[in-house]
Structure 1
């Protein structure tokens, strides 16, 4: 199972690195437990999602809301169906010009078919919310 999980995440990050967000969304199961906790009333792209269509909406809202400058994966730790990616991101909020620079972790779970069933991104959500405010 560890090999399947690692293979799925390698493909996920490969697609993300080429801007293939539709392809990345295709790697998720029909029902997924996705969340990016934070101030959903201020930041439209964060919050829970439950299926690939909602994940595609996330990527659309993200592209409209910010300019991605850096998204670096430092390491991925895999244990069976569970994985954690550790990295750093830097983005510019389009509406304010403010910079978000934050460490992050993403928790994943991958099922027996190689589909992602859980995605939990943890970042400095206070910093993100303040960057959106004028």
Structure 2
């Protein structure tokens, strides 16, 4: 564990992240930042792994906006322990192309070093998001390729 991160630093980073402004976010990122959003990359291009400040800035400035316009990104819970912060967020976004409004939660786990983010790991309820994107409930047991498995787990 590194040096403890201050609540003020976590709050400032969160505000920059919520703004979705890559210029505002960049100063909070270490040059070697690792950023991973869990989820199906073929459905949500913003999921997956990125390394380096330039890749994360591209992610915030181009990839996420290519699919969604984020309207609300508010913390529900924030926990800080040493150099790590965990944030549970309520998100509302509008899907590009369809205008569908999506509401979901996402959790991010952030590690800081010298006041900068060196690691962010996030997870969203992408199954719920997928249902909202397609506009109806998805029954995994009626999907032909999943029906035989009968052990589908959605996180």
TM-score, normalised on structure 1? 0.85
SS at 1:36's partner residue?
A: strand
Q: If you compute each CA radius of gyration, which structure gives the higher value, 1 or 2?
A: 2
Offset, 1:131: 4.4
Q: Which residue of 2 aligns with 1:24?
A: 25
Moved beyond 6 Å, runs of 4+: none
Q: Distance in 1 between matches of 2:85 and 2:129?
A: 24
Q: TM-score, normalised by structure 2?
A: 0.74
Deviation at 1:102, TM superposition (A): 1.0
> Hey, what's the Cα distance between the residues in 1 that align with 2:27 and 2:48?
19
Hey, what does 1:96 align to over in structure 2? Answer: 98
Q: How does 1:1-134 map to 2 (within 5 A)?
A: 1-2=3-4, 4-59=5-60, 60-111=62-113, 113-133=114-134
Does structure 2 conserve the Cα–Cα contact (< 8 Å) formed by 1:88 and 1:102?
Answer: yes
CA RMSD of aligned residues (A): 2.0
User: Deviations for 1:22-70, whole angstroms, at most 9, x for unmatched residues?
Assistant: 2213311111221111111121122111111111111121122112121
Bigger relative CO (Cα 8 Å, ≥ 6 apart):
1
Provide structure 1 residue ranges, at least 5 long, that are not aligned to the other structure: none
Structure 2: runs of 5 or more not aligned: 136-155
Q: Cα–Cα, structure 1 residues 129 and 47, in superposed 2: closer, same or farther, change >3 Å? A: farther
